[in-house]
Chain A
Amino acid sequence: GEDVEQSLFLSVREGDSSVINCTYTDSSSTYLYWYKQEPGAGLQLLTYIFSNMDMKQDQRLTVLLNKKDKHLSLRIADTQTGDSAIYFCAESRYSSASKIIFGSGTRLSIRP
């Protein structure tokens, strides 16, 4: 079945770049997502990328997709304390949200 894997923790210094990595197994994945979950809150979509793209940039966020290796990464430039959260990688074969599979999440902590 489909599986999405991420490392559990990442600690970076404020102002540095954060890179969160994800691997997935479903070669039919068409849409790949990054969701953010702040403490006590639900998940919120940060960004997404279609499988026919290699890169997507949105302000401080850069998503890189290596479809051959089934590897997705999220880079956050100039990491701030407000970026502290859990980041979930997710994938779906479909354009609707009906079959989104989530990873276990990477907890990003920011040190001064």
Chain B
Amino acid sequence: EAGVVQSPRYKIIEKKQPVAFWCNPISGHNTLYWYLQNLGQGPELLIRYENEEAVDDSQLPKDRFSAERLKGVDSTLKIQPAELGDSAVYLCASSGQGANTGELFFGEGSRLTVL
């Protein structure tokens, strides 16, 4: 079974440029998450989707960040314009119903460097 797939793995851009990250969750997982992981820190939730609906976006900086999950499967996270402080790893995760452990399945992440 394929895990959570993210692309690109690495992205280097200049500040003020736009950037987009893509995530394909594990098949059948209704819940999709985008996390931000700064160097030396744990993941911090940006947004959580239940199917197509963003049910928790309270930590998403909406002035420059946007996300969508149009058909309840793949998701895209966009930053426009990027700032130097956005350099980090953007992790996508998914979870399924029925499991009572609360396990998150993470992708390998997209490492963003803003110059």
Show the binding face of A for B, using Cβ within 8 Å: 4, 8, 31, 33, 35, 40-45, 48, 88, 90, 92, 94-98, 100, 102-105
Contact = CB atoms under 8 A, between A and B. Distances in A.
A86 B91 CA distance: 15
Interface residues of B, number: 23
Interface string B90-115: 01010100001111101111000000
Contacts of A40: 108
A33 B103 CA distance: 9
**Prevailing SS type, chain B contact patch:** loop
Nearest to A47: B101
Contacts, number: 63
B28 interface: no
A102 B95 contact: no
A111 B43 CA distance: 27
Interface centre among B4, B42, B95 (most CB of A within 10 A): B42
Given A43-B91, A97-B104, A98-B31, A105 B41 contact: yes
Nearest to B42: A102
Interface centre among A33, A35, A45, A97 (most CB of B within 10 A): A97
Interface in B19-71: 31, 33, 40-44, 48, 55-56
Nearest to A103: B42
B106 A42 contact: yes
Given A98-B48, A100-B102, A105-B40, 8 more contacts: A42-B93, A42-B108, A43-B106, A45-B103, A90-B42, A96-B95, A102-B42, A104-B41
